[in-house]
Chain A
Amino acid sequence: MEHYANQYVMVTVFLLVGIAFPVVVLWVGKRLRPRSPTPEKEIAYESGNDPQGDGQIRFNVRYYLYALMFVVFDVETVFLYPWAVAYKKLGLFALAEMMIFIGMLLIGLIYAWRKKVLQWNSI
């Protein structure tokens, strides 16, 4: 178990290198690139037209519904993984239990399907 700590060291090292790389590169880039901002350059891009209204517009509520569906099924996978790893030791009873669990979530999916949550009708 003590040796297992080394794996955390390695992950930490990767994380630090991953953070250092963008910091260093962007710092070097700042030394190299020109900087001459004008008000025109700093306008939001809208295919060459002047931007109309605010950029942070209201968007389709469907994205929210997808996020809800995602949370449901992602939590399901959290339960599925320990079950899957131990499955060969657990046997048929565990399979029946998991099928009931998946079945209940499937009912939710079918409900969302029938309610046309999965139907995309605009942007």
Chain B
Amino acid sequence: MQRFWDDPVSWEAAGRYALVALALLAVVIVFVTYAIYFERKVIGWMQFRQGPNRTGPLGLLQTVADVAKLLVKEDTIPAKADKALFVLAPALAFIPSFTVLAVIPYGLNLPFADLNVGFLYYVALSGVTTIAIVIAGWASNNKYALLGGMRSAAQMISYEVPLVLSVVGVAMLTESLNLRDIVLRQEGYFWHWNVFPQIIGFAVFVVAAVSELNRTPFDLPEAESELVAGYHVEYSGFRFAFFMLAEYVYIYAIACLTTILFLGGWNAPFPQLDFIPGLVWFAFKFALIVFSLFWIRATLPRLRVDQLMGLAWKALLPLALANILLTALGIEWLG
């Protein structure tokens, strides 16, 4: 069957991809807007509060109002800051977060970049955001920002190791790093999905991913009570918004990746449910993961910084390595 990835290279195809990219940008912006609203609502309900309910019906326009406010806020750059780097950092944090979305396959009929190194592409680009955070902390010329930036960088690189290693098991089972192939190898129902043979990998991946996203219980880089706001303390207006945006776009990316790597992508869990289109299943699993992230935030308190680093190196890294060994032995014995 002729698929979009077999199209010859042409300006027409490039134009079509540009439209796809713009459409996806719109989807992501809407997602971020309502993910923030949803997060505040969910956490509000879990704490017996209402959450935002004044701006627009049911508070639906709350985030829109917040964004509009950020857009017309004065943009202050500290006199001692390194201007060029200070301006560069928020954009540099956002650009990779959007560019990684190119490889996410939502279904076989929607266009995406069908890279053979799909997962490595994600890992490589998401690392650039760490650099942006260090730059932001350094360029602000502020002690809190510097410490927050260094903490954040240390945390993100520490958790990147178990995050990447936990997916090695998936690569062994599916013999591919191409995200489309990984989903096609999980073709079938929930007992075919990687989450069961890779249950250790899945657990390590989820914990490391929550930490990579700098979310509670691992949100030390922006611990309000200790470091004021961490690396973005000097940022105001829309530059600050870009750090926020990057964070939520990564939530989107990680939720998509978890769905693809472990939860069977667009496959239905039961044969009886095959009539529901794959895209709906993808969206459902995606929403479940996003909700779980907010749930975790409402439930768990923040870790201490020494516990945080210990968890990455002393618990998650050995677990991820053990998972590789177990997967290898499993393939040898069970075929």
Cβ contacts under 8 Å, A98 to chain B: 328
Which B residues lie at the A interface, using CB under 8 A? 5-9, 13-14, 17-18, 20-22, 25, 71-81, 90-91, 94-99, 101-103, 111-116, 120-121, 138, 140-147, 150, 153-154, 157-158, 160-161, 164-165, 168-169, 171-172, 175-177, 228, 233-234, 237-239, 242, 305-306, 308-310, 313-314, 317-318, 321, 324-325, 328-329, 331-332
Cβ contacts under 8 Å, B306 to chain A: 119-121
Is the beta-carbon distance between A44 and B22 smaller than 8 angstroms? no
Is the beta-carbon distance between B332 and A9 smaller than 8 angstroms? no
Is the beta-carbon distance between B154 and A66 smaller than 8 angstroms? yes
B98 touches which one: A8, A17, A85 (CB < 8 A)? A17
Other than A43-B79, A62-B154, give 15 A-B pairs with Cβ distance below 8 A: A3-B8, A6-B13, A13-B20, A14-B102, A19-B95, A28-B71, A42-B76, A55-B143, A59-B147, A77-B164, A81-B177, A85-B175, A95-B329, A118-B310, A121-B306
- Complex CA gap A59/B14 in Å reads 47
Is the beta-carbon distance between A10 and B111 smaller than 8 angstroms? yes
- Complex CA gap A46/B314 in Å reads 35
Cβ contacts under 8 Å, B121 to chain A: 11
Tell me the A36-93 residues at the B interface (CB within 8 Å): 36-37, 39, 41-47, 51, 54-57, 59-60, 62-63, 66-67, 69-70, 73-74, 77, 80-81, 84-88, 91-92
How many of chain A's residues touch chain B, expressed as a range?
A: 35 or more
Is the beta-carbon distance between A22 and B95 smaller than 8 angstroms? yes
- Complex CA gap A93/B37 in Å reads 53
Cβ contacts under 8 Å, B142 to chain A: 44-46, 51, 55
Chain B binding surface, main DSSP class: helix
Is A100 close to B, CB under 8 A?
Answer: no
A-B contacts, CB under 8 A, total: 229
Cβ contacts under 8 Å, B95 to chain A: 15, 18-19, 22
Cβ contacts under 8 Å, A92 to chain B: 332
Most interface-central of A55, A99, A113 (chain B CB within 10 A): A55
Chain A binding surface, main DSSP class: helix
Cβ contacts under 8 Å, A9 to chain B: 9, 13-14, 17
A35 touches which one: B5, B75, B146, B321 (CB < 8 A)? B75
- Complex CA gap A118/B198 in Å reads 27
The chain A residue with its CB closest to the CB of B163 is A77
- Complex CA gap A11/B242 in Å reads 21
- Complex CA gap A39/B76 in Å reads 11
Is the beta-carbon distance between A10 and B164 smaller than 8 angstroms? no
Is the beta-carbon distance between B228 and A106 smaller than 8 angstroms? no
- Complex CA gap A37/B237 in Å reads 14
CB distance from B135 to the nearest CB of A (A): 13
Cβ contacts under 8 Å, B9 to chain A: 2-3, 5-6, 9
The chain B residue with its CB closest to the CB of A94 is B328
